[in-house]
Structure 1
Amino acid sequence: MNEGEINQSPCITRLPDDPLYVIFEKLENNCDRESFGLTCHRFLDIQNLSFRCLNLGYVAHSFRTRVKTDPFILDKLLNRFKQLESLSLTNCYELSDSDLTILENYGFKLRSLYLSFCPRVTDISLNSVASGCRLLSIISLSNCSITDSGLETLTKSCKSLVEVNLAWCLSITDHGIQSLIQNCRQLKALKISWCNKIVGVGFQGCSAALAYLQVDCCAIDPMGISKILSGGGLEYLSLCNLNKCPRGHGLGAIGSGFAANLKILDLKMCTSVTDDVIISISKGCPLLQEWNLSFCDEIGYPGWESIGLYSDDLKTLHVNKCVKLCDRGLLALGNGCKRLSMLYMTECRLVTRYGIRIFKSLRADVEISKKVVSTIYPYC
């Protein structure tokens, strides 16, 4: 074979970029993809430009440690993987505002950004994110040192946010929530647990798109409850350990019609919830599939009876340490709740072995578990 024939011979490296991208995407395991990138410089470029997700927080999660970030290395990685759509820096404990200024240049294609447990991240970082990451749809800022001002700046630029995690952001108030609610009308999921300066009034005028809301251990008051429900689209609501609604005052609004789409309701440790509240919710939330009432001390027979009568779609019920649940109330649940399949029940001192035996004879299809579930997650 002469030199001219060699130069004209078929070679995969002469293919244009598009089919090479297709070939790379067809590779099913990481080993094959790494081998592809080691073939030549051009193939390495194809590999780098096909990289969509970078998780630097994975090391911390795997080895239960805090990750130290090197700004130089982070800059190199973001310069190499220019098509990144998801970046996780969770648990990068020493990550600082100056480290994140590079997002102004490299974050233009990011859709998801995870900065949870990065306590040195402040409003200055949110300015960088707002400047460089305008396509963001998901951001996690749990345990970051941000304020209403930074959140307002972020939401004015990143209006396509659909999932936001602000848990343990202790300086966030209803003013910041109002900015988020008004600027991001596509917002679907929000976590604000342990934000103890939020009372709920910032949810006034929230969109019907808001479907998943976790507000555990906040200072939500009766007025705040009504504002939270005002959008009418909630399917998942967690209000664990609510202590600003004496005798459940305000919680009855959940059954007033604004939460008719609710499928999961977590009221664990809402110790002042009364029978009237349970009756209202049972009647007003016909689609409810999972309900956590663990540690709710004040629910008596009328409450359990109403659940049996009206919660036709209920599949899972948590009643751990409900001290007023008795054999009669358990039987009322058994006679109703035709779709019930899982009952989490332990330390209900008025429920006897005889009562459990009668329940099981009526409802052999229901599994009884002594497990205490700490968090209920939305159904996918």
Structure 2
Amino acid sequence: MNLRRVENISKRCGGFLRQLSLRGCLSVGDASMKTFAQNCRNIEVLNLNGCTKITDSTCLSLSKFCSKLKHLDLTSCVSVTNHSLKALSDGCRMLEMLNLSWCDQITRDGIEALARGCNGLRALFLRGCTQLDDGALRHLQKHCPELTTINIQSCTQMTDDGMVSLCRGCHKLQILCMILEAARCSHNCHELEKMDLEECILLTDNTLVQLSIHCPRLQALSLSHCELITDDGIRALSSSACGQERLTVVELDNCPLITDVTLEHLKSCHRLERIELYDCQQVTRAGIKRIRAHLPEIKVHAYFAPVTPPPSMHGGGPRLCRCCIIL
């Protein structure tokens, strides 16, 4: 998506637009976002995941014009620095969720600025922000009492002291995602309820067999980017006690061997509330329709790449590609 198309969206929707995803739009840059921010001042949810041309200038524009912003995803916007967090702190004080995963220029000073201004922050994702240390957690502990979710995976400079400090100050914390060292652990985790195995690319169906046997309380499981997982593994999981009595969330994004057969197996998971199936190329709309008919309350999140349109025969103006979704 280019500048002109962002301008068209912002002018057409203007103050009515509340949510927008530009995820993966590699050509979107600061000029586009400045125009957008000026025209769409009531935006509340904005996804810029993977918009790698974005810099601090975009956050300055959001700070100046978009004071109602609540959810902002800047995943992999690697040019974003502490200046962005200072700007958001000044102008976007209603911010509740911020994803800074892989924004590796961020330091504790940026987190301090953010925490001082956005003390209603509830969810913060800092995966891969390798410069962060315990000082960042102490700032969150001091200024963000509403924090319920934080992800600090791959933040290797953080220690036990930082964890203790965070937990002492953030009494509403429910989800803490970090590196878990389980070497030489001699006890089975029978009480395990949530398991995130995203991007564990060497995992096979045998892992799911073992989870189905030894983890009867499992409720949520992420297997996204586990490219060796097949329908057989999901069959073992869905036919187990946890599958039929407990399982509510299964994330299978980018699992290329998964097919509609997996959805047939998951029909027996009566408590299932959500399935993630982005970029599962062998899953079809028909398969999704069948499981929705069987489990009418379920939320299935999937993406089907649009057919590339033929070149215009009449030389029409630029069109908005369907992958640039207005939520």
Which bin holds the TM-score, normalised by the shorter protein?
0.5 to 0.7
Q: Give the alignment partner of residue 140 of structure 2, picking from 228, 238, 244.
A: 228
Tell me the TM-score normalised to structure 2 length. Answer: 0.56
Kept in 2: contact 1:201–1:227 (CA 8 A): no
Contact 1:343–1:368 at 8 Å: present in 2 too?
A: yes
Structure-2 separation of matches of 1:227 and 1:142: 25
Report the equivalent of 1:342.
193
Q: How many Å apart are 1:118 and its aligned residue? A: 0.8
- In 2, distance between residues paired with 1:126 and 1:345? 33
Asked if the contact 1:200–1:228 (Cα under 8 Å) also holds between the matched residues in 2, the reply is no
Q: Pick closer, same or farther for the CA change 1:373–1:108 going to 2, 3 Å.
A: same
Structure 1 partner of 2:129: 218
Distance 2:184 2:224 in 1: 21
Deviations 1:10-53 (Å, cap 9, x if unpaired)?
xxxxxxxxxxxxxxxxxxxxxxxxxxxxxxxxxxxxxxxxxxxx
Q: Aligned equivalents of 1:216 and 1:159: distance in 2?
A: 26
2:185 is aligned, of 322, 325, 328, to 325
* Correspondence 1:134 to 2:41: yes
Q: Which residue of 2 aligns with 1:262?
A: 173
| Aligned match of 1:99 | 5
What pairs with 1:230-245 in structure 2 (closer than 5 Å)?
A: 230-245=143-158
What corresponds to 1:184 in structure 2? Answer: 92
Larger Rg: 1
Query: Cα offset for 1:208?
Result: 3.4
Structure 2 CA distance, aligned partners of 1:166 and 1:157? 18
> Greater helix percent: which structure?
1
Q: Which has the higher contact order (CA 8 A, sep 6+)?
A: 2
Q: 1:131 to 1:323 in 2, by over 3 A?
A: same
Measured in 1, the distance between the counterparts of 2:46 and 2:31 equals: 16
Deviation (angstroms), 1:181 = 2.4
Aligned partner of 1:198: which letter? Answer: I
Query: The residue matched to 1:213 in structure 2 has which SS?
Result: strand
Name the structure 1 match of 2:307: none
Q: What TM-score do the two structures reach when normalised by structure 1?
A: 0.49
**Number of residue equivalences:** 208
Separation in 2 of the partners of 1:115 and 1:343? 30
Deviation at 1:201, TM superposition (A): 2.4
Counterpart in 2 of 1:280?
A: none
Query: Does the aligned pair in 1 maintain the 2:196–2:223 contact within 8 Å?
Result: no
| Mapped contact 1:137–1:161 kept (Cα < 8 A) | yes
The root-mean-square deviation of aligned C-alpha atoms, in Å, is 3.3
82, 85, 109: which one aligns with 1:174 = 82
* Preserved CA contact (<8 Å) 1:202 1:227: no
Q: Residue 110 of structure 2: which of 162, 177, 202 is its match?
A: 202
Structure 1 counterpart of 2:30, from 111, 120, 123:
123
Aligned to 2:318: none
Q: Mark the CA change 1:367 to 1:199 in structure 2 (over 3 Å): closer, same or farther.
A: same
Contact 2:63–2:92 (Cα < 8 Å) also in 1: yes
* Percent of residue pairs identical: 23
* Residues 306-343 of structure 1 deviation map (CA, whole Å, 9 limit, x = unaligned): xxxxxxxxxxxxxxxx114223xx5xx77xxxxx4637
Distance 1:345 1:199 in 2: 26
Q: Which amino acid aligns with 1:102?
A: N
Alignment of 1:1-380 (within 5 A): 95-106=1-12, 107-144=14-51, 145-204=53-112, 205-219=116-130, 220-229=132-141, 230-245=143-158, 247-256=159-168, 258-267=169-178, 270=179, 296-297=180-181, 322-327=182-187, 340=191, 342=193, 366=217, 373=223
Change (3 A) 1:365 1:139: closer
Per-residue deviation, 1:248 = 4.1
Cα 1:368/1:263, change in 2 over 3 Å? closer
1:217/1:239 contact within 8 Å kept = yes
Paired residue secondary structure (2:16) = coil
